[in-house]
Chains A and B, each alone.
Chain A
Amino acid sequence: MDVWALLIIPIVTSVVIVFITRKWKNLSSYLSIAAVIACFFIVLPYLIEALGNPHMHGHEQAFTWLKVSGLHIKMGTFIDSLTVVMLCIVTFVGSLIHIYARGYMEGEEGYSRFFACLSFFIFAMLGIVLANNLIMIFIFWELVGLASYLLIGYYYQKPSAADAAKKAFLVNRIGDFGLILGIFVIYYATGSFNFGEIEHQVMAGHVEPWTMGLAALLLFCGAVGKSAQFPLHVWLPDAMEGPTPVSALIHAATMVAAGVYLLARISFLFYMAPPEAGIVVAYVGGLTALMAALMALAQSDIKKIIAYSTLSSLGYMVMSVGLGGTGPGMFYLMTHAFFKALLFLGAGSVIHACHTNSIWEMGKLYPKMKATGVTFILGSLAMMGVFPFAGFWSKDEILSTAFDSGHWLLYGAGTLTAFITGIFITKIVLLAFFGKKRYHGNPHESPPSMTIPLVVLSVFAVFAGLAGFPGLEPNFGSFIPSHGHHGPHHFNFLVAGISTLVVFAGILIGWKLYTGEAEPAHRLKAQYPCLYKVLENKFYFDHFYDGVLVAVIYNGIGKILNFIEVNIFINFLINGFAYNVRVVGRALRGTITGQLQHYALFMVSGVVVLVLIFLQYFV
């Protein structure tokens, strides 16, 4: 029963804000914050239970939602340790970001609308996490898409925000196209939408391997959309048009991780399917990780850089899950939620102070904003994966998974990504907080409602990695049910050593390039203008999609068919037919003269013709 409250509380809050408390801004925000904190407290007992017994028996409950002959869909919830991890992330990080948003959104038009959407998002996100079947996941999957649409389009009067919202929704729809087909394939292969039943069927070997592979890859399409993997990654950077708390909550910590969560949920499919399915997933992840890191190098919008690093991190997680490392993937998801939310909120605090997104208009903010600065640096260290911060442990698990799998290309891509991440994260820290003063006006530290969440998150960004400390029991890796061949995680000193080395190399290069006036960086940019342009334009993906796929092919087909419709069907065939009928009618009108002798003539001619016919054939 209390599990349903997790869904009921946020949706009721959202509805109440929309219809009743819209006028009272503060009340609306308090309601929304109270709702998400209440959810957190409902989740806590489950966390305690799961910590005591990592292989806890799943709590499942369901009710019939749709029943006709031949189809019976139940809605239900399922709670195991995987669910608990996600529930905690969503409600805990969500609570902090709600509190932060109260300060950040101060004075914005549509303050209540913002909190109504946030509560709606929490509702939809918890729905995904709790779902015990594929249809329910799909429903809430679409609903988080709606929440994301509404929040990206929060400043709907800005054309760029309106475009970004539309783009996010449509690109996700393309992924969902695969997802829903995958659900159908599973349904017809196993006769069920329920995870437990599907798993039972699949593990019993009742499903052909290639069907499972097909289904797994189709479901992965959904994850590609939601977790912004190559080639559907284009919406996430644009989504930064939304307010910063939204970027932190939805487009970093929770919603974009839903794809990874889905993959973890159906990991048994990849386990039983032909290994190629998992390899495809892993390579898509690896490619995304590396590509996004490269794209981050040439950006100058602080939120966009962090957004690309999010893409890159999501690539890590997807790669790990693809290689069978569900535990490491989820571990990274958790630590990532903390340090990425922290980075976004820190960036938001900086933007709030400087009124600009460009890192070239900040600089030397550290003396002015100590709290933001310190927490941001801690988050950066976690993000880069410096020992002993959270990111170190989780990244190390993923890299060792890749290392052990024997896919050297993936391991290489992961390590290279870590190196590049070192460069651009150092770049943000140096350009925003140190070096030369480039800001205008008089920036000052944000209010406590914004800095307190930063401090809390930074504590987790530093220490959350210890959940995966080797030898700890229950260790995070064994906490997540896994079907892979991976036993308990072994700490690999070689992998850890190499990754630490490359990160420090990255930091060093970043330091060289961006200290002081950042002269070397400018020189480098002048030296390789082509390379820089390619990176700055994000490998021309958006140009290709907008300019070729959408403008030429998609709209082109529409225009051609419209031309056919208007000119060939309507004007030529239909109106032409009507015209001919009119012409014939007009011609026949000539025969109605009103002269009796004409009619008599017609009559006699008719008789003559009839007589002739009669003579011809019947005599």
Chain B
Amino acid sequence: MEGFPILSVIIGLPLVAVLFLLFVKEESIYLIRCVSAVTTFICLLLSLILMFKYDTEAAGFQFIEKIEWVKSMGISYHLGVDGISVLMIVLTSFVIFTGVFVSWVGIKTRIKEHYILMLLLVAGVFGVFAALDMLLFYFFYELAVIPMYPLIGIWGSANREYATMKLTLYLSFGAVFALLGILAIYFTAGAQTGTYTFDMLEMSAVVFDRSFQIKAFIPLIFGFGVLVPLAPFHSWSPIGHAAAPSAVSMLHAGVLMKLGAYGIIRLAMGLLPEGAVYWMPYVAGLCLINIFYGGMVALSRKDLKFMVGYSSSSHMGYVLLGLATLGTVGVNGAVMLMFAHGIMTALAFSLIGFIYDQTHTRMIYDLSGLAKKVPFLAVSFAMMAFASSGLPGFANFVAELMVFIGAFKVYPIHTIIAVFGIIVTATYMLRAVRTVFFCEPLEKWDGLRDAKTFVERMPYVVLVAVLLIVGFYPAIVLDLIDSGVVPLINKINGVPLG
């Protein structure tokens, strides 16, 4: 394995598959699907290998690949991962792998284009998590955002033009702000050291003065905050989820929203520790709006996808609260929650999509007594609902528990409100379970089909299994996360490196 460019392969494989698919005939649906499935499966295997090969004892960035790109400006093709990014890559490959199977069932038109765009998108996401060069990071980010536009615009449901426009505008808008911050860091560091470089590793050795850190933190937290999405810039996200086809909702909520949080960890907190110390208490305040406001709006939404959409923005509030603690326990919890929520929300959207494809309604009160007709989906949905409400046994519980333990020390009042948020989550989730799956079955849903075949069931089984395995044995991901979090927090606390 020594010298094998595993990160480039993970990023490159979907791109190779895209090239191949371009030459495949539109009609050979089966081939298209299989190529996508095999590609993403290999990505999944590789990312799992990455996870087990990563040396948590040594920590730091590993599997580094570096090629000069634009030497005069200090841009290089520089890849490398620490514990946090490894986990995010694993999350991405789980979501895309199951997403391919969800699309297998759900997408009936323009199949070739759909898979091409999905693979492009996921290559971009892998790239973001592996990039150690800020410009490369930005490049991959845009690569991930652009395919989103046609994916929602073409295969989306109600209100898709509006949704896709809004989503793309917000995502680009946020990214531009983040880019401003990145450029500010680039030029300041360059002026300070004499060598202009976008390399994150070199950059992280530079010590910026406090006032610059505080100023430069603003565009970064704002830009990435829009992606998270931090209230009040969240409204692109629920409607984006709602309009997108299932697999895209999965990627969007499961992975794209995590890009923002990842950006905050890697760039905002990693490069500007004093800015983080200064601003994070305010962010903690905003999180509460996310948690409480998002939860309450989810409570009064009648459309399942909107409900889960607002619930996502509510849950991302817990992630930010964890990050805002700037302590090892809270940040560990936040990163774990990014993972757990990604898997959980992918499960939610895939299930809702499966039902919607048959009923053509997602209105909670139109559906009733489905458990009788579709027991498998009902059980999976209930599992999702309980995972989302933080029931022990699921990864979400462990993550939220750590966020709360970490946050209680720093922000006790915030934590009390945040813990109250899990009651709200349980309320809307159980209300949905009760109304949609319990009670008398309605006659008009007699024809509903349960997930029966391997292809139909596989995504749900895989996602639930991941949540349960990580929930029972959290060490499987926590060793990784911790190895990435400790250096970060040490830097913020001013502990000298090494």
Contacts and interface: CB of A to CB of B under 8 A. Distances in A.
Q: Do A and B come from one complex?
A: yes
B136 interface: no
B434 A65 contact: no
Interface stretch (B35-43, B96-104, B297-305): B297-305
Interface string A157-189: 111011101100110011001001100100110
Interface in B239-283: none
B329 A574 contact: no
A355 B235 CA distance: 53
A259 to B, nearest CB: 18
Interface stretch (B107-115, B339-347, B355-363, B473-481): B473-481
B46 interface: no
Nearest to B369: A157
Interface string A37-67: 0000000000000000000000000001111
B296 A68 contact: no
A555 interface: yes
Given A65-B474, A188-B409, A565-B235, A163 B426 contact: no
B386 interface: yes
B69 interface: no
Contacts of A554: 299, 427
A558 interface: yes
SS of A interface (majority):
helix
A539 interface: no
Nearest to B295: A558
A456 interface: no
B390 to A, nearest CB: 8
Contacts of A558: 296-297, 299-300
B430 A170 contact: yes
Given A68-B329, A142-B391, A184-B415, A561 B296 contact: yes
A69 B405 CA distance: 13
Contacts of B235: 565, 569-570, 574
Contact of A173 (B332, B397, B423, B441): B423
Contacts of B486: 69
B328 A69 contact: yes
B418 to A, nearest CB: 11
B327 interface: yes
B481 A565 contact: no
Given A135-B401, A163-B434, A170-B427, A66 B474 contact: yes
A8 interface: no
Contacts of A70: 327-329, 406
Nearest to B430: A166
A555 B299 CA distance: 8
A69 B83 CA distance: 14
Contacts of A153: 438
A139 interface: yes
Interface residues of A, number: 46
Contacts of A187: 405
B150 interface: no
B22 interface: no
Contacts of B327: 70
B482 interface: yes
A279 B474 CA distance: 40
A158 B419 CA distance: 32
Interface string B383-402: 00010010111000110011
Contacts of B391: 142-143, 146
B426 A67 contact: no
A68 B328 CA distance: 8
Given A188-B408, A562-B301, A157 B372 contact: yes
B293 interface: yes
16 contacts: A67-B475, A69-B486, A70-B327, A71-B328, A71-B329, A71-B332, A135-B401, A139-B397, A153-B438, A157-B441, A163-B434, A173-B423, A180-B404, A184-B405, A188-B409, A565-B297
Interface of B: 166, 232, 235, 293, 296-297, 299-301, 327-329, 332, 369, 371-372, 386, 389, 391-393, 397-398, 401-402, 404-406, 408-409, 415-416, 419-420, 422-423, 426-427, 430-431, 433-434, 437-441, 474-475, 478, 481-482, 485-486
Closest 10 CB pairs of A and B: A162-B438, A558-B300, A139-B392, A558-B299, A562-B300, A70-B328, A68-B482, A156-B438, A184-B408, A558-B296
